Amino acid sequence: MTEGNFVDYVKVYAQSGNGGKGSAHLHREKYITKGGPDGGDGGRGGHIIVRGNKNLWTLVNFKFKKHFRAGHGEHGSKNRSSGAEGEDVFMEVPLGTVVRDFESNEVLFEITEDGEEKILLEGGMGGLGNWHFRSATNQTPRYAQPGIPGKEIHVILELKVLADVGLVGFPNAGKSTLLSVVTSAKPKIADYEFTTLKPNLGIVEYRDFQSFVMADIPGIIEGAAEGKGLGHYFLRHIERNATLLFLIPADSKDIGKEYQILLDELRRYNQELLDKERLIAISKSDLLDEELIAEMRLELDKDFKTVPYMFISSVTQQGIQELKDRLWAMLNS
């Protein structure tokens, strides 16, 4: 999937169908000049339904179709015949989609399972025919109920990527390179910051034909929690990840400080993110010799007393299999 086709935030308009009118028909046939009421009910208007689809990874379909209108219910008719229901309209969304009211910004619901259906707007009820209004004192009612109009709403569809492992790090930390090595994903890679502007997903193949999903989240910068840069668009994708893999390059001026800045951005955005399991990978370790790695371990043991860390290199494959083993163990602990 090209980067331009990854759409994770759209505004759409939805309108449910009107209910059909009830019929005020009076029964007429040969030799029966004054038959009673036999008007049927109007049909229900169509619903707008949001449905999860595991085969979708993006909201790109809503880039070209942003208006959804359900069918109207048909009117009732004679012989107590009810009108047909309006056609329901289904909006297929990827798993992890959050639906918000555009006006109030209230979260209406979330779609997290394949085939899960939520009614966004109910169609208007059909009106009752005059058959329902007959009585001993009013045997020929000449009126019926009108149908109830449908509803309309503007909503925001917001995708939060569902992945087992989320890659967290500053721009140019080597996240895209790592993803391209451990999965078959082909993210854009270049030697400058903000190469990745949209999340990339890849399936990591593990032992015995098992696998897990890894997401390359665009680089976080200091102040992202306040919306600096594209902070909120980046950080919301981390909420869905089960495990966070912090990637910090070996040539960083202060690895411990860089980790604390990343952690602080997550804390300020959503305190619950700190409850997720964390692993630190020191990338670009092919730049280091064994003696330098030993010296760095002495410092890192002080900085990372509670969080495990390891040295890896995507270029030379150093520590890649061990990284997979660690992540698999964390996901299945």
User: Domains along the chain?
Assistant: 1-159 (2.70.210.12), 165-331 (3.40.50.300)
- The alpha-helical segments, DSSP class H, found in the chain are 175-182, 231-235, 255-269, 290-303, 320-331
Q: Maximum Cα–Cα distance for the chain, whole Å?
A: 110
Q: Tell me how far apart the alpha carbons of residues 171 and 157 are, in angstroms, rounded to a whole number.
A: 27
How remote is the C-alpha of 287 from its chain's centroid? 39
In whole angstroms, give the CA distance from residue 193 to residue 319.
25
Phi and psi for 82 in degrees, rounded to 5? -80, 150
| Segment 172-200 mean pLDDT | 63
**Residue 72: closest CA among 85, 53, 91:** 85
Which segment, 18-27, 51-60, 267-276, 296-305, is predicted with the most confidence on average?
18-27
pLDDT at 233: 56
pLDDT at 226 exceeding the cut of 70: no
Reported as a single tens digit per residue, the pLDDT across 130-180 is 999 998 888 889 899 999 999 999 999 988 776 788 888 887 777 778 888
Contact 21, 147 (CB under 8 A): yes
CA 32 – CA 24 distance, rounded (Å): 18
The mean-pLDDT minimum among 104-108, 115-119, 151-155, 282-286 falls in 282-286
Contact 22, 39 (CB under 8 A): yes
**pLDDT class for 198, splitting at 50, 70, 90?**
low
Q: What is the pLDDT of residue 43?
A: 96
Q: Please tell me whether the overall predicted TM-score, pTM, comes out greater than 0.85 for this model.
A: no
Length of the chain measured in residues? 333
What average pLDDT does the segment 94-109 reach? 92
Q: What is the DSSP string of 118-163?
A: EEEEPPPPPPPPGGGG--SS-SS----PPPPP--EEEEEEEE----
Least confident of 2-6, 125-129, 149-153: 2-6
For a pLDDT cut of 90, what percent of the chain falls above it?
39
pLDDT digits (tens, 9 = 90+) for 65-88: 999 999 999 999 998 999 999 999
pLDDT at 19 over 50: yes
For residues 151 and 294, the model is more confident at 151
Task: Check residue 6 and give its pLDDT.
Answer: 65
> What per-residue confidence (pLDDT) applies to 321?
92
End-to-end CA distance of the chain: 32
Residue bearing the bigger pLDDT, 183 or 128: 128
Mean pLDDT (the chain, rounded): 84
Residue 188: is its pLDDT beyond 70?
no
